[in-house]
């Protein structure tokens, strides 16, 4: 079956967060980075890009190109905070997420509750805008390479689907510098022998690919033909795993909350079993109507990934809570992991 892969990437991420937090910066050329004369640009708003400013450019050069720009230092902990919120939204769409950087990830939604890439993309975009106040670009395709190409297609605030039928029309006229995996040096070397566009690369014999791209030669050969079988790799070093949901309307009913807890426990259990992981600490989280977070944890004496253990622990926690105001969000998390490879081996 053909996969549905999404690539998501926040627009002008650090600069957009600065504009979000300070309305005086909105609509203006904002440059984020080391503010000393030796510093470099981390990123800049799209208003500043018009002047030719870009990431990794020395600050003094940016100042020359855009003297009336607003220069602000980076606030990493704030970007991390917003990034976590974005990833919470993504995790609500699928468990199969590969974070690439603070503002970028691949998602495999083939077996998620969404079976349509465009619907999932619109859902993500509208939640990120409504709940965080920022725009994100989303690319949709049947592999990672094309999904990434698509997310970049009409940035900022972009959305783009690349279908099988669009290959090779969409790829042929592309500049080779647009191909993820072809580095700056290779671009220069290929330009020197008269190769500027993907259509020029199509004519190049396969053994020359190895000469120019080394061990990645075959991959590049495939990619520009729309072939890429790389899987979306979940981050296996996670310290916790959870699900949470903002309710469509606030509730005080423990029964209603237990319904969500029941679903989350099943999903978490299935996921842990699939990855062969067990945890020991179970956390129930809820947010009241006035946005106050409550977290209650319980650590078991044994490691588990069973639905019943997760559900029952949360149920016990919830029974002890005094819920007399509306709850707007509920979540379940499991942590303190132990890999259970040994137990699995003993099964055979």
* Active site residues per annotation: 104
Residue placing its CB nearer to Mg ion in the complex, 155 or 280: 155
Size of the site for Mg ion (CB under 5 A): 4
Which of the listed partners (Mg ion, ligand TTP, none) does 234 bind, with a CB threshold of 5 to 8 Å by partner kind?
Answer: none
Least distance in angstroms from the C-beta of 76 to ligand TTP: 9
Before 156, cis peptide (omega within 30)? yes
Three-class secondary structure assignment of 14-31 = HHHHHHHHCHHHCCCCEE
Which of the listed partners (Mg ion, ligand TTP, none) does 56 bind, with a CB threshold of 5 to 8 Å by partner kind?
Answer: ligand TTP
Report DSSP letters for 112-169, one per residue.
SS---HHHHHHHHHHHIIIII---EEEEEESSHHHHHHHHTTT-SS-EEE--GGGTTT
Closest by CA position to 257, among listed 334, 335, 311, 333: 311
Q: Give CA–CA dist 107/340, Å, rounded.
A: 26
Which of the listed partners (Mg ion, ligand TTP, none) does 88 bind, with a CB threshold of 5 to 8 Å by partner kind?
Answer: none
Which of the listed partners (Mg ion, ligand TTP, none) does 43 bind, with a CB threshold of 5 to 8 Å by partner kind?
Answer: ligand TTP
Q: Give CA–CA dist 340/122, Å, rounded.
A: 38
Residues engaged in binding ligand TTP (CB under 6 A): 9-14, 42-43, 55-56, 101-104, 155-156
Least distance in angstroms from the C-beta of 15 to ligand TTP: 6
The 52-91 site mask, x for binding Mg ion (CB under 5 A), equals ----------------------------------------
Three-class secondary structure assignment of 58-112 = EHHHHHHHCCCCEEECCCHHHHHHHHHHHHHHHHCCCCCEEEEECCEEEEECCCC
Report if residue 9 touches Mg ion, rule: CB under 5 A: yes
Report if residue 138 touches Mg ion, rule: CB under 5 A: no
Element (H, E) at 32: strand 30-33
Q: Give CA–CA dist 122/159, Å, rounded.
A: 8
Least distance in angstroms from the C-beta of 17 to ligand TTP: 8
Q: What is the DSSP letter of 296?
A: E
The response to whether 9 counts as a known ligand-binding position is: yes
Least distance in angstroms from the C-beta of 46 to ligand TTP: 7
Least distance in angstroms from the C-beta of 57 to Mg ion: 16
Report DSSP letters for 167-224, one per residue.
TTTTTTTSBGGGSTT--HHHHHHHHHTT--BHHHHHTS-HHHHHHHHGGGHHHHHHHT
Report if residue 10 touches Mg ion, rule: CB under 5 A: yes
Which of the listed partners (Mg ion, ligand TTP, none) does 149 bind, with a CB threshold of 5 to 8 Å by partner kind?
Answer: none
Report if residue 18 touches Mg ion, rule: CB under 5 A: no
Report if residue 103 touches Mg ion, rule: CB under 5 A: yes
Task: Note the residues at the interface with Mg ion (CB under 5 A).
Answer: 9-10, 13, 103
Binding residues for Mg(2+): 9, 103
Binding residues: 9, 103
């Amino acid at each position: 079956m053909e996969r549905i892969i999404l690539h998501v990437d926040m627009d002008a991420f650090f600069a957009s967060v600065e504009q979000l937090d300070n309305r005086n910066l909105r609509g203006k050329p904002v440059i984020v980075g080391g503010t000393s004369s030796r510093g470099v640009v981390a990123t800049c708003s799209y208003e500043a890009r018009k002047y030719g400013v870009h990431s990794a450019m020395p600050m003094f050069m940016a100042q020359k190109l855009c003297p009336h720009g607003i220069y602000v230092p980076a606030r990493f902990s704030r970007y991390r905070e917003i990034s976590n919120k974005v990833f919470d939204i993504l995790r609500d769409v699928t468990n199969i997420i590969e974070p690439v950087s603070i503002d970028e990830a691949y998602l495999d939604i083939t077996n998620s509750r969404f079976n349509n890439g465009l619907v999932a993309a619109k859902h993500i975009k509208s939640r990120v805008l409504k709940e965080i106040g920022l725009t994100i670009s989303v690319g949709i395709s049947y592999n990672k390479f094309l999904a990434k190409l698509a997310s970049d297609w009409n940035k900022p605030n972009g959305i783009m689907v690349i279908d099988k039928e669009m290959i090779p029309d969409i790829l042929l006229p592309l500049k080779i510098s647009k191909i993820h995996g072809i580095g700056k040096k290779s671009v220069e070397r290929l330009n020197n022998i008269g190769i500027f566009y993907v259509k020029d690369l199509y004519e190049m014999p396969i053994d020359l690919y190895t000469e120019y791209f080394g061990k990645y030669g075959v991959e590049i050969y495939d990619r520009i033909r729309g072939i890429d079988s790389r899987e979306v790799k979940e981050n296996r070093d996670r310290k916790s795993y959870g699900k949470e949901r903002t309710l469509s309307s606030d509730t005080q009913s423990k029964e209603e909350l237990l319904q969500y807890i029941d679903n989350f426990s099943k999903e978490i259990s299935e996921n842990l079993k699939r990855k062969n992981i067990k945890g020991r600490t179970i956390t129930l989280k809820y947010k009241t109507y006035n946005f106050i977070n409550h977290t209650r944890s319980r650590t078991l004496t044994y490691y588990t990934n069973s639905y019943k253990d997760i559900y029952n622990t949360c149920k016990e926690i919830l029974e002890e809570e005094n819920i007399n105001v509306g709850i707007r969000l509920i979540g379940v998390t499991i942590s303190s992991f132990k890999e259970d490879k040994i137990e699995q081996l003993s099964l055979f």
